Amino acid sequence: MVPIDYGLLRFIWWALLGLLLIAFAVMDGFDLGAAMLQPFVARTDSERRVLVNSIGPVWEGNQVWFILGGGATFAAWPALYATSFSGFYIAMILVLGALILRPVAIAFRSKLDARAWRRTWDWLFFIAGVVPSLVFGVAFGNLFLGAPFKFDDALRPDYTGGFFELLGPFPVLCGLTSIAMLAMQGGAWLAVKADGIVAERARGAAISAAGALVALFTFGGLWIAFGIDGYVIQSPIDPSLPSNPLVKTVARETGAWLRNYGIHPWLAAAPAVGYAGAILAAIFLRVGRDVLAFVASSLGVAGVIATAGFSLFPFLLPSSTDPRSSLTVWDSSSSPTTLFIMLIGAAVFLPAIVAYTGWVFHIMRGKVTAKEIEGDVHEHY
C-alpha cells in the first residue's frame, strides 16, 4: 500500500518535471546561449577560446538536467514519452544531434592551429546552440496548439503529423522567444565568467535579448489569449483512477489556456517573475552588477517556463485530432507504486546532484582570461 494519495503523487511528479525543465533551461541554457552569441561577442581566436572555456568545465554537468527530465518522463509519464518521442522523432533527432555536436566542437576546435579548421568548428558550435533552443521553443508552442495524434481502443497512439507541420507561425514565435530567453541567459553568464571585451559585448547582447524576450513573451501571451483555442476538461475527474486518457470529455474554447489564472489568481506570479527577471537583468547588466543580473535572468527563465506549465495544467500533451485523447496529469502516469518508489529515489539523489553542482561551480569560480589561457595552452580548450 502506497502511503501517499495517487492524485497527490501525480501532482508531485508534474511539479518535479517542471522543476527539471526549469533547471535544464537555467543551467544548460547559458551554455546554449553562449554558443549562440559566439559570432557576436568573440571576434578573435583568443576571444573565442575565452568564451568556450567559460562553459568548458560545466557544460557536461549542466546537461544532466536534460537526461533527468527525459528519464523522469519515461518512468513517470510513459504515455507522454511514447507519444511525444515517436511523433516528434525528427525534432528529437535534431536536438540530440546538436547536443552531440557541441562537445565535439568544443574539444576539436583547438586540435589544429589552422584558421579554417577552427572557424568551421566555431560555426558548428554556434549551430549546436541555436538548433536546440529553437526546437525546444517550437515544441512548447505546439503543446498549446495540440499535437495530431489519437489513441485507439487498445490505447495505441497514432500520430498523423509531419515535421514541417510543427513549424507554424505560433510555434515559430515560441521558438524565437526561446532563443531570446537563452541568449539573455548566456550573455548574463558570459558577463560574469568572461573577461574584458568579451564580457562587455556579452552585456550588450544580453540587454538586447532581454528586450526581445519581453516583447516576444507579451506577443505570445496575447496570441494565446485571443488567437488560440485552448483545451478544457468537461467531464468529472477522479485523480485516483488508473491511467486511461479515453475516459474523459475534452472541448476546445478560445481563452481556455487562461482559465487557471481566473481560478487561482496567484498563478499570475509566474509571468510577473518572467517579466521582472528580464527587466532586472537588463538593468543590472547596464550598471555592471553581473552576478545579480545572472540571478535575475535565471528567475526570468524560470518565470517564462512556469507560465507555460501553469497555463497548460492539467494537460501534458493535448490532441488536436481527438481532444479526448489528450494526455493530462490525471490519466497518463505510471502506477502509484512506481511513482512512490521514484519519489524516494528523487528525494535521495536530487539533493546530491544539487550539492555536487554547487561544489563544482565553487571550485571553478573566477573569470576566464585570455592571459590565463595563453599561458597554459594544455589545460584549456
Take residue 45 and report the three cell numbers written for it: 581566436
Q: What is the mean predicted confidence (pLDDT) over 353-380? A: 81
Q: Reply yes or no on whether the pLDDT at 379 is more than 70.
A: no
What number of residues does the chain have? 381
Which is it for the CA torsion 167, 231, 137, 204, positive or negative? positive
Structural domain contains residue 353:
no
Answer whether residue 375 shows pLDDT above 80. no
Q: How far apart are CA 337 and CA 37, in angstroms?
A: 45
Would you say residue 132 lies in a domain? yes
What pLDDT score does 165 carry?
A: 87
The answer as to whether 367 is a domain residue is no
C-alpha dist (Å) from residue 350 to 73, 347, 355? 16, 6, 9
Inside any domain, residue 153: yes
95 pLDDT higher than 80: yes
Q: What is the pLDDT of residue 248?
A: 93
Distance CA 371, CA 46 (A): 9
Express each pLDDT in 261-311 by its tens digit. 999 999 999 999 999 999 999 999 999 999 999 999 999 999 999 999 999
Alpha-carbon distance of 91 to 141, in angstroms, equals 13
314 cis-preceded (ω within 30 degrees of 0) = yes
Task: Please state which of the ranges 69-73, 159-163, 356-360 shows the lowest mean pLDDT.
Answer: 159-163
159, containing H or E segment: strand 157-159
**What percentage of the chain exceeds 70 in pLDDT?**
98
> Region 171-189: what's the mean pLDDT?
97
Looking at residues 95-120, what average pLDDT do you find?
90
Q: What is the pLDDT of residue 85?
A: 84
pLDDT band for 160, please (50, 70, 90 cuts): confident
Q: What is the mean pLDDT of residues 46-74?
A: 89
Residue 357 maps to a domain? no
How far is it, in rounded angstroms, from Cα 332 to Cα 199? 46
CA dist 328 → 30, 70, 245, 267, 325 (Å): 31, 17, 7, 19, 9
Cα separation of 131 and 90, whole Å? 12
260, 148 Cβ separation under 8 angstroms: no
**How much of the chain exceeds pLDDT 90, in percent?**
75
We report the CATH number of the domain holding residue 202 as 1.20.1630
What does the DSSP assignment read for 190-244? HHHH--HHHHHHHHHHHHHHHHHHHHHHHHHHHHHHHH-EEEEE-S---TTSPP-
Q: Domain range spanning residue 128?
A: 16-235+248-334
User: Would 91 be classed as within a structural domain?
Assistant: yes
Do the beta carbons of residue 263 and residue 34 sit within 8 Å?
A: no
Mean pLDDT, residues 162-185 taken together: 94
C-alpha cell at 284: 543590472
Residue 249: DSSP 8-state: -
In this predicted structure, the answer to whether residue 1 has a pLDDT above a threshold of 90 is: no
d(CA 143, CA 129): 22
Grade residue 377 by pLDDT with cuts at 50, 70 and 90. Answer: low
> Model confidence at 89, in pLDDT bands (50, 70, 90)?
confident
Residue 2 in domain: no
162-170, Cβ contacts within 8 angstroms, sequence gap of 24 or more: 163/90, 163/91, 166/88, 166/91, 166/138, 166/139, 166/142, 167/138, 168/141, 168/142, 170/141, 170/144, 170/145, 170/220, 170/223, 170/227, 170/228
Measured between alpha carbons, how far is 190 from 38 in angstroms, rounded to an integer? 10
- Residue 203 maps to a domain: yes
Total of domains in the chain: 1
